């Protein structure tokens, strides 16, 4: 199709502007996230799971080079034993493989985390630019300033950035009505991370939107997503065990009451004050979106309605579980952007009588301000819009600066990269390979596994894995590690098959530590400021007599000597 030279020049200039906006956004996002990721030398950020992910990616690469999947042998007492193990982050670990080629595995994990985080934020910004949302750079600042937990959790060496990317791609396909492409997308999503349920929720929401705006039942998005999900479960190296693990996650985590066992802090809610303060910009964006949303024009409100429903769902989930903090805030910004856009567009011209598709294609080329009076009013209005946008951008930049300071400090407070390294090197050198080491904290496992993959451990990655395999053993584990068992030695030996205990030096395990030493079963074989390794003796040593008892014996002996002359 040929265009006039003037129109061709306009199209070229628009493409150039879009490219400049995208390039500026990519650089800006990288400059913001770089100091966050590298404010600590450790794999970010306080959560140790990144150590497991990068080490497993290396082992996966070594296995694939040998034409087989590696057996996961490190948690034999849990549902992640070698027979039932499921890698529910399979493609995420595949995506991490090139970064395992770094000489420093820790640095490789950090570079991967930075790249994936940049891609996640950039995908949201790209979506705004591609949909011709005005003041895209202002919305980009809002994306970066939306929430401190969003910035913090986005930098973890985990899979959520891919969930954001997949949701953005899915939203684009829904808006373009290219429904059949949702099938391969949901297939890849299912193999990458078990938050694929968010894509299914997005498809259901789109069906509701189409039913509202076009008053017809559109079943294809849900059908194609379901087909892709089923394929992702079945065409999977861990089928059918992956079905059991997915059910296990749903059963334990999707509850409105208390959890069956202690889980990670990310599964507990924020307090109301924390929720508002941590995500102030996202909360304001939701209010702006609700106020600006105009349902009067059903044909043109379907995009904003989609984000209204999706962002509201994510906000409710975030109020229940902290871990949704990496999903809700950016979609709150997208909701506000799409709701405000019609107000920024202003009054429609006579061309609005054309079909929606044709109007959307012609809109950039229409000149609706030919009349001088209309033109002056339009210029005045546009000036005020730019002034308002500049003020908003300055405020958001200030919030972003404050959020960055807080988040950088939080990340910098992470344990150093050498944390547990010396203790695990001692275990690796002195404990026979393959033995089960009794770790007193399930969340210490990733670092232990990273520094010493030659041994097996009692609990790790999630306490529900031990609980689901044996809730009796899980409850016994809790009683022992919290110091409620006065004589833990025989229980650790007979029930868990361990002769060595690895414990951190935190206060929570001080009762266990005192019980272990007082029992006469244990001896300290390694200790530093971070951790302690205990060895379970073959025979119990009788504790030395109490000092008061010894004094009484001495006094009694002295009296006998005196009386006996």
Q: Are 248 and 376 within one domain?
A: yes
Q: Are 339 and 403 within one domain?
A: yes
> Is residue 564 assigned to a domain?
no
> Is residue 207 assigned to a domain?
yes
- pLDDT for 247 equals 84
Q: Are 400 and 512 within one domain?
A: no
Q: How far apart are CA 202 and CA 308, in angstroms?
A: 11
Q: Kindly report the backbone phi and psi dihedral angles of residue 498, in degrees, each rounded to the nearest multiple of 5, phi listed first.
A: -115, 145
What is each CA distance from 399 to 65, 83, 139, 330, 406, in whole angstroms? Answer: 48, 50, 13, 15, 11
Contact status, residue 389 vs residue 400, Cβ threshold 8 Å = no
Which of 412, 437, 470 terminates a domain? The answer is 412
Q: Are 437 and 405 within one domain?
A: no
Structure tokens at 530: 């971070």
Identify the CA nearest to 138 among candidates 148, 130, 128.
128
| Structure-token match 């119990």, residue found | 540
| Structure-token match 């080491």, residue found | 437
Q: Are 281 and 256 within one domain?
A: yes
Q: How many folded domains does the chain comprise?
A: 2
- pLDDT for 138 equals 95
Q: Are 364 and 430 within one domain?
A: no
Structure confidence by residue, pLDDT tens digits, 119-141:
999 999 999 999 999 999 999 99
Structure tokens at 234: 């079945």
Q: Are 380 and 469 within one domain?
A: no
Q: Is 541 exposed, middle or buried (0-12, 13-18, 19+ CB in 10 A)?
A: exposed
Structure tokens at 488: 């833990």
Q: How far apart are CA 93 and CA 58, in angstroms?
A: 9
- pLDDT for 358 equals 52
Residue 289 parent element (H or E): helix 280-292
- pLDDT for 347 equals 39
Residue 255 parent element (H or E): none
Structure confidence by residue, pLDDT tens digits, 50-95:
999 999 999 999 999 999 999 999 999 999 999 999 999 999 999 9
**How crowded is residue 295: how many other Cβ atoms within 10 Å of its Cβ?**
11
Contact status, residue 481 vs residue 500, Cβ threshold 8 Å = no
Q: Are 389 and 314 within one domain?
A: yes
| Structure-token match 């306080």, residue found | 46
Q: How far apart are CA 459 and CA 453, in angstroms?
A: 14
| Structure-token match 């107000």, residue found | 343
> Is residue 331 assigned to a domain?
yes
Which of 386, 412, 438 terminates a domain? The answer is 412
The residues of the chain scoring below 70 in pLDDT are 1-12, 252-267, 346-378, 543-565
Q: Are 122 and 18 within one domain?
A: yes
Q: How far apart are CA 379 and CA 374, in angstroms?
A: 9
Q: Are 469 and 338 within one domain?
A: no
For residue 533, the cross-strand partners are 502, 526
> Is residue 74 assigned to a domain?
no
Structure confidence by residue, pLDDT tens digits, 494-517:
999 999 999 999 889 999 999 999
Q: How far apart are CA 523 and CA 537, in angstroms?
A: 7
Q: Are 153 and 269 within one domain?
A: yes
> Is residue 61 assigned to a domain?
no
- pLDDT for 384 equals 80
- pLDDT for 76 equals 96
- pLDDT for 563 equals 44
Which of 372, 393, 412 terminates a domain? The answer is 412
> Is residue 208 assigned to a domain?
yes
- pLDDT for 369 equals 45
- pLDDT for 275 equals 83
Q: Are 302 and 432 within one domain?
A: no
Q: How far apart are CA 301 and CA 264, in angstroms?
A: 39
> Is residue 408 assigned to a domain?
yes
For residue 523, the cross-strand partners are 535
- What is the rounded end-to-end Cα distance, in angstroms, of the chain? 125
Structure tokens at 428: 């690796």
Residue 419 is classified by DSSP as T
Contact status, residue 501 vs residue 509, Cβ threshold 8 Å = no
What is each CA distance from 160 to 34, 95, 139, in whole angstroms? Answer: 18, 13, 21
- pLDDT for 82 equals 92
- pLDDT for 258 equals 57
Contacting residues for 84 by C-beta, under 8 A, at least 6 apart: 241, 244, 245
| Structure-token match 């490219």, residue found | 19
Give me the domain span that covers residue 137: 5-37+86-412
Q: Is 296 exposed, middle or buried (0-12, 13-18, 19+ CB in 10 A)?
A: exposed
> Is residue 44 assigned to a domain?
no
| Structure-token match 């129109």, residue found | 7
- pLDDT for 381 equals 72
């Amino acid at each position: 199709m040929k265009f006039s030279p003037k129109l061709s020049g306009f199209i070229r200039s628009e493409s150039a502007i879009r490219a400049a906006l995208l390039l500026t956004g990519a650089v800006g996002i990288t400059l913001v996230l770089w100091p966050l990721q590298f404010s600590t030398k450790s794999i970010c950020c306080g959560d140790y799971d990144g150590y497991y992910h990068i080490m497993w990616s290396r082992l996966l690469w070594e296995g694939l080079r040998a034409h087989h999947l590696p057996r996961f042998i490190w948690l034999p007492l849990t549902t992640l034993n070698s027979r039932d193990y499921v890698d529910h982050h399979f493609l995420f670990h595949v995506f991490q493989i090139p970064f395992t080629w770094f000489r420093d595995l820790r640095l490789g994990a950090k570079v991967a985390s930075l790249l994936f985080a940049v891609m996640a934020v950039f995908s949201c910004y790209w979506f705004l630019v591609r949909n011709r949302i005005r003041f895209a750079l202002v919305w980009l600042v809002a994306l970066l300033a939306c929430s401190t937990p969003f910035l913090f959790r986005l930098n973890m060496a985990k899979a959520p950035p891919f969930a954001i990317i997949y949701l953005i791609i899915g939203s684009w396909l829904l808006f373009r009505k290219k429904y059949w492409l949702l099938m391969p997308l949901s297939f890849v999503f299912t193999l990458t991370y078990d938050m694929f349920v968010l894509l299914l929720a997005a498809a259901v929401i789109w069906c509701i939107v189409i039913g509202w705006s076009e008053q017809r039942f559109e079943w294809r998005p849900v059908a194609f997503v379901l087909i892709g999900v089923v394929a992702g479960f079945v065409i999977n190296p861990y089928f059918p065990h992956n079905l059991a693990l997915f059910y296990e996650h749903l059963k334990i985590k999707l509850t409105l009451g208390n959890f069956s066992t202690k889980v990670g802090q990310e599964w507990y809610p924020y307090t109301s004050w924390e929720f508002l303060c941590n995500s102030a910009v996202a909360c304001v964006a939701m209010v702006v979106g609700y106020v600006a949303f105009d349902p009067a024009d059903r044909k043109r409100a379907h995009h904003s309605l989609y984000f209204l429903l999706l962002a509201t769902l994510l906000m409710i989930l975030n109020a229940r579980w902290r871990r949704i903090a990496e999903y809700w805030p950016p979609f709150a910004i997208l909701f506000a952007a799409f709701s405000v856009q019609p107000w920024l567009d202003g009054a429609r011209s006579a061309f609005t009588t054309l079909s929606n598709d044709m109007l959307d294609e012609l809109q950039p080329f229409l000149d609706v301000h030919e009349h001088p009076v209309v033109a002056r009013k339009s210029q005045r209005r546009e000036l005020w819009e730019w002034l308002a946008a500049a003020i908003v951008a300055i405020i958001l930049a200030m919030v972003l600066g404050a959020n960055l300071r807080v988040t950088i400090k939080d990340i910098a407070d992470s344990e150093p990269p050498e944390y547990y390294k010396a203790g695990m090197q001692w275990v690796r050198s002195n404990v026979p390979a393959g033995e089960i080491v009794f770790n007193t904290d399930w969340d210490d496992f990733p670092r232990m596994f990273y520094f010493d993959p030659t041994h097996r451990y009692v609990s790790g990655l999630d306490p529900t894995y031990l609980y689901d395999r044996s809730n009796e053993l899980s409850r016994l584990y809790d009683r022992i590690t919290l110091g409620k068992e006065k004589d833990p030695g025989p229980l650790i030996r007979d029930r868990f098959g361990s002769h060595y205990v690895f414990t951190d030096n935190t206060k929570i395990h001080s009762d266990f530590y005192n019980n272990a030493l007082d029992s006469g079963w244990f001896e300290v074989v390694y200790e530093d400021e971070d951790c302690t390794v205990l060895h379970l003796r073959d025979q119990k040593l009788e504790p030395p007599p109490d000092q008061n008892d010894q004094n009484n014996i001495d006094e009694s002996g002295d009296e006998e000597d005196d009386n006996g002359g």
